[in-house]
Amino acid sequence: MDYIAENIRQIRAQMEEAALRAGRDPKEILLCAATKMNPAEAVRAAIAGGVDCCGENRVQELTEKAAQDAYHGAPVHFIGHLQKNKAKLVVGAVDLIQSVDSLELLKLINRLASERGIRQDILLEVNIGAEASKSGFSVDSAWEAAAQMEAFSSVCLRGLMAIPPVSEKSGDNLRYFAKMYELYVDMRGKKYDNTSIDCLSMGMSGDFADAISQGSTMVRVGTAIFGPRNYG
């Protein structure tokens, strides 16, 4: 698993270069290891290698790896599509749910957190490319959800997450990242109730440098850390 630590070192160097080129402090940007389809041993190696947090896409994997104490030493986030019938397995089990993609899911998470006597940190997932194949809030509906946050006292809105359209080449997604940053800054300035907006999660293995150039505060990197996933 030594290759994981070396990959993380290289990614950190690329993150720093992108941040400095944009006139930003590299310490402002967190590295989230996207751990989907990677075993507990690899997750532990990533944490030892210095990632800031781990992001899990699937509830079953989250539950299994948590039982193996795979996330010890790092916060764990849920970053995949969260089905409502599985929300009860995630609320309170993770530090941050990045993929809150509808008002109905937001209401459910608030209810579950209230029943458990906790306050769950969340991000709103924005479908910034308006793709029919993806879930998520539109820009307008994200504003509507943020304006209703006073009704959700058992959650805290920490920011926004986005997965732009798949790009053919470097730079294709700059306009989407820029649009997300504009939304993030404007929403942070509103200071709605039950919000503490400080996280803009965007950028993955193929485009995290571009995301950092446009203001991302967290990149979600899987393949560049762990290598190609085996779907066989």
Which one, of 85, 87, 30, 78, lies nearest residue 55 by Cα? 78
Residue 44: how many other CB atoms lie within 10 Å: 21
pLDDT band at 203 (very low <50, low <70, confident <90, very high): very high
pLDDT tens, 53-76?
999 999 999 999 999 999 999 999
3-state secondary structure (DSSP) of residue 99: strand
For the chain, which domains are there? 2-224 (3.20.20.10)
Q: How far apart are the C-alpha atoms of 48 and 46, rounded to whole Å?
A: 5
How many Å is the maximal CA-CA distance in the chain? 47
> In this predicted structure, what is the pLDDT of residue 124?
98
pLDDT tens, 75-131?
999 999 999 999 999 999 999 999 999 999 999 999 999 999 999 999 999 999 999
- At 141, the amino acid letter reads S
